Amino acid sequence: MKNGLERFLLATRWTLLPLYLALAVTVLALYVMVGREVLHLIADITTAKDTEVVLLVLSILDLVLVANLLVMVALSSYESSISPINIGNADEKPDWLGKVDSNGIKAKVALSIVMISAIHLLRAYMNDTEIPQLLTMAAVHIVFVGSALALTRTAKH
């Protein structure tokens, strides 16, 4: 009975697969969003102000960071929770894959959130957002930074 229960519990890890696939599909939506931003950049490049170009580039960078985060979480979570990824050509496998544990994933997610938050804060500043809203955004960003520092510190111990 114990072996059957353990096999069942171990097999439930495969129920996570659709969630990891959903993360991968979400990256496709980000392609559309990045494409839209690139089209805006190309269409407005001759008439746009410097700050407008920087804001468009920051939007693209923000979306790329989110896409990287989604792929990293999906791949490393799949490998650590479901099954090791064994591909024929070892050159195709990223160096970090197989070396990132759940604490490493959490730390990378936290640091990515800090970077994304910093980009949003910079964009808000460049868009002349009102001071009270900027202060609120800065406070939230500081909370993210503090959380990321605490998480990375506790992950090492």
Report for 11-15, 87-91, 153-157: range of highest mean pLDDT: 11-15
Which of these, 153, 145, 152, 136, lies nearest to 118 by C-alpha position?
145
| CA 122 vs CA 38, 50, 99: distances in Å | 19, 14, 33
Q: How far apart are CA 102 and CA 99, in angstroms?
A: 10
Take residue 53 and report the two structure tokens written for it.
Answer: 């170009």
103 confidence band (pLDDT: 50, 70, 90): confident
Residue 33 scores a pLDDT above 70 = yes
Sequence ranges of the domains in the chain: 2-156
- Residue whose tokens read 């990891």: 20
The set of residues, in sequence order, having a beta carbon less than 8 Å from that of 97 and lying 6+ positions away, is 75, 76, 79, 85
Quote the Cα angle for 135-154-16, to 5°.
Answer: 90
DSSP string covering 11-30 = HGGGGGHHHHHHHHHHHHHH
Q: How far apart are the C-alpha atoms of 53 and 1, rounded to whole Å?
A: 64
pLDDT bracket for residue 100 (50, 70, 90): confident
pLDDT of res. 153: 82
- Confidence at residue 90, expressed as pLDDT on a 0 to 100 scale: 67
Mean pLDDT for all residues in the chain: 88
Please give the model's pTM, rounded to 2 decimal places. 0.79
